[in-house]
Structure 1
Amino acid sequence: MKFEVLNRRHFIKLGISATAIGLVGVPFSLSARDKPNPNHLPRWRGFNLLEKFNDARNQPYQESDFQLMAEWGFDFARLPMSYHCWSKPDNWLQMDEKVLKEIDQAVAYGRKHKVHVNLNFHRIPGYCVNPPEEPLNLWKDEKALEAAAFHWQTFAKRYKGIPNEELSFDLINEPSKVEEPDYVRVVTRLVEAIRSEDPERLIIADGMQYGTKPVFGIKDLQVGQSTRGYGPFQLTHYKASWASGSDTWPLPTWPYKQTETDVWDKARLQREVFEPWKKLSNENVGVHVGEWGAYKHTPHDVSLAWMKDNLEIWKENGWGWALWNLRGEFGVLNSGRADVAYEDYKGHKLDRKMLTLLQAY
């Protein structure tokens, strides 16, 4: 695989503008760019697309996904990406231009079909919520933070000039095992790196504790924040192979009864999971649900009832969302559920009931 080698001097000279990669159409004004802003994010709704979720996958994005989302009335695609797709830990300053151009293409698909593209580093130098662990620790090691800032600065330079209506950055997927001062320091550094190249770029930061806890310590940075919709975990990850012990959990219901006196329902979701995020929103920070969904082994009727309650809460609060995922075991296409009568749809197996529910919110 051919790599394009970048160092700091090369990077400063790098002028890969939106024009150069063919992504600029009609001119836009700064006032137009300011419409989506971190204080009140649009209620974008859509799906996660996983072509670059890890380097074992690392496929080009499919235009048909963007076409389907647009046809169905959705306007948001979150792209959780591993930096291992275009670089490696042993030389963080090398980037594979071929892979970067595949990301360019996804941005172009979004523009063409009027689907907002949210670029997320699911694996960033120094951290990933999933194995394998990175050789250095983003929260503690300056070299890892320097590399992470370099990658985001590269993306900021590459996509400068693309309106915020069409593109945003989501810094780090689901930070965990980090104290708030360290997280604030890292986020601040990454925001500075991006704004050194593109001061206007719309930036979103995930909440702490795997995206579930709002971070009031960064509310003055002028970034939106992304939360999750995976609670209760015993419902959403029932029999998920990567969730330890999930094959021993009782069959989920909704409301979900852990014991006779310990019950999860819509009111508890609002109170315990989303009320802290509403407080953040009330302090002029935009909120979006970057991931949510229920795995294929959760009974379909239970999944839909649970999804409906979440969707109602988010609509009441004015928050958008991105289902994990479009195609796959949480999604509306090819989910492999045993209790769904699928519809054959453009070469896919469509869960029409789930799609209809999502379209209603």
Structure 2
Amino acid sequence: MPEILIPRRDFLKKATAASMALSLNQTSFSPSLKKRKNKLPKWRGFNLLDFFNPDPENGRKTKPDYYKYMSDWGFDFVRIPISYPSYLDFDRSKPIRPDEVLQFNNRVLDEIDEILTNCHNQNLHVSLNLHRAPGFCINAGFKEPYNLWEDQEALDAFCAHWEMWSKRYKNISIKKLSFDLVNEPFKRLDPNDQHSPGGAVPIAEYRKVAEAALKTIKGINKKRLVIADGNGGGGTAIPEFADLDLHQSCRGYFPMHISHHKASWVFKDPDSLPSPSWPGMHNERMYQKEDLEKHYAPWIALLEQGVGVHCGELGCYNKTPHEVFLAWFGDILDILDENGIGFGLWEFSGTFGVLNSGRTDVDYEDWYGEKLDRKLLSLLMKNA
């Protein structure tokens, strides 16, 4: 074969290209430089509050067109936080008794079925969550007959509810439906007092509850995706659960002086609170994006342990100045997006929502008779 002469300039180009290719190839296989992988899909969407209230008549009914709006805007996720009394049949003029907590109302269950069908018709994944479980809810307003974290009778009822849901939806694909065990675990001195002192549930107590429900669900459909909310009201990651077949759900409410400004169910004297800013000072402390990054670091560490992470709730009450809300919220969405973590805005329509939020400082767009916060929607769609 005759000798082929390559001009020096061409040789240098090819050598440089080969060197770069080798470098890139080595980088892609370097464990220290691998991008962390989230084992949960990057679902993005909204919470629907139809059965959030213990009395189903007081729920916020989702309009049929809402499902299509979500899908058309590029979202693929709906979380349904449900209060267990909403689908029971009992005398609501009296506190519920332990012997009444399994009296399922088939008419209401059928209505919940309809929400799932509407979501699935628009290719929206559904996360079914017990916002109020037998013996526990982070919100007051309904007197529980026992304590989920301490009483075996409450745990038995909790598992019975998940058994019902698991059997009812056994044949729905895991791509269409996941289960979120119990909303925002928290332990108060008085479980029925919203402002009673409290904090994170002791890990052993939370683990006992989570393992029991997980065993129940997996015994019916072993492939079902199951999610545990962060401890201490949803904001604290739980590395102690990394060995379980559980994924975890964080929150987008830090810091709460931004997300829940003047919220009466959070602050005892809401009207006395100073107007927040972002970034800005609060109680002689500066809050900025760096603080958000530190807040989410334990959740990102879970990804590295092989635990899937999703942000089941995030958003901001309508008393926070709109521009402050958007500046803060954009930073949260950026951090979640950079780490492949999806989200569920609380809520679709209402005081935290993209529709009909009732803010006084927003120039709403008319959207088929609804009041649309276009700036918020654009921010969400950027990450959808």
Category of TM-score, reference length = shorter chain:
0.7 to 0.9
Find the counterpart in structure 2 of residue 100 from structure 1: 109
Partner of residue 76, structure 1: 77
Alignment of 1:300-339 (within 5 A): 300-339=322-361
The 1:60/1:237 distance shift into structure 2, 3 A limit, reads closer
SS of 2:242's equivalent in the other structure is helix
> What amino acid is the match of 2:271?
D
- Which residue matches 2:223? 200
Distance in 1, matches of 2:115 and 2:39, equals 25
Q: Does 1:149 align with 2:159?
A: yes
The answer on whether the counterparts of 1:61 and 1:103 sit within 8 Å (CA) in structure 2 is no
User: What is the CA–CA distance in structure 2 between the aligned matches of 1:186 and 1:39, rounded to whole Å?
Assistant: 25
In structure 2, give the amino acid aligned to 1:300: H
- Could you tell which deviates more after superposition, 251-260 or 332-341? 251-260
Question: When the two structures are superposed, what TM-score results if normalisation uses the length of structure 1?
Answer: 0.87
Q: Retained in 2: the 8 A contact 1:300–1:340? A: yes
CA distance in 2, matches of 1:150, 1:233: 34
The residue that corresponds to 2:269 in the other structure is 245
Q: Does 1:187 align with 2:185?
A: no
Asked if structure 1 preserves the Cα contact closer than 8 Å seen for 2:84 and 2:133, the reply is yes
Runs of 4+ in 1 over 6 A off after TM superposition: none
Alignment of 1:111-260 (within 5 A): 111-131=120-140, 132-177=142-187, 178-243=201-266, 244-259=268-283
Matched residue type, 1:339: D
2:54 and 2:184 mapped to 1: Cα distance? 19
Alignment check: 8 A CA contact 1:204 1:223 kept: yes
- What letter is aligned with 2:273? W
Q: Name 2:28's counterpart in structure 1.
A: none
2: CA distance, partners of 1:122 / 1:134: 13
Q: Please name the residue that 1:10 is paired with.
A: none
The answer to whether the 8 A contact 2:128-2:179 is kept is: yes
Q: CA deviation at 1:39?
A: 6.3
Q: Which runs of 5+ in 2 are unaligned?
A: 1-36, 91-95, 188-200
| Larger Rg computed on CA atoms | 2
CA drift at 1:245: 2.3
1:39–1:222: 8 Å Cα contact kept in structure 2? Answer: no
Percent identity between the aligned chains? 45
Equivalent residues of 2:38, 2:340 under 8 A apart = no
Q: What is the CA-CA distance between 1:130 and the residue it aligns to?
A: 0.6
Q: For residues 14-25 of structure 1, what are the structure 2 equivalents within 5 Å?
A: none
Q: Please list every run of 5 or more consecutive structure 1 residues that lacks an aligned counterpart in the other structure.
A: 1-37
Contact 1:234-1:246 at 8 Å conserved across structures = no
1:308 match: secondary structure: helix
* 1:285 aligned partner: 307
Question: What code does the residue aligned with 2:224 have?
Answer: R
Q: Would you say how many aligned residue pairs link Structure 1 and Structure 2? A: 322
Q: CA, structure 1 residues 106+137, in 2 after alignment: closer, same or farther (shift >3 Å)?
A: same
1:50 aligned partner: 49
Residues 61 and 259 (structure 1), Cα distance of their counterparts in 2 relative to 1, 3 Å cut? closer
Q: What displacement does 1:58 show? A: 3.9
CA distance in 1 between counterparts of 2:325 and 2:259 reads 8
d(CA) in 2 for partners of 1:188, 1:176: 17
Compute the displacement of 1:237 (Å). 1.0
Provide, for residues 147-182 of structure 1, a one-character-per-residue CA deviation record: whole Å limited to 9, x for no partner: 000000110000011111111100000000121100
Partner of 1:21: none
- Aligned equivalent of 2:376: 354
Within 2, Cα distance between the matches of 1:326 and 1:110? 13
Q: Please give the secondary structure, in 2, of the residue aligned with 1:128.
A: coil
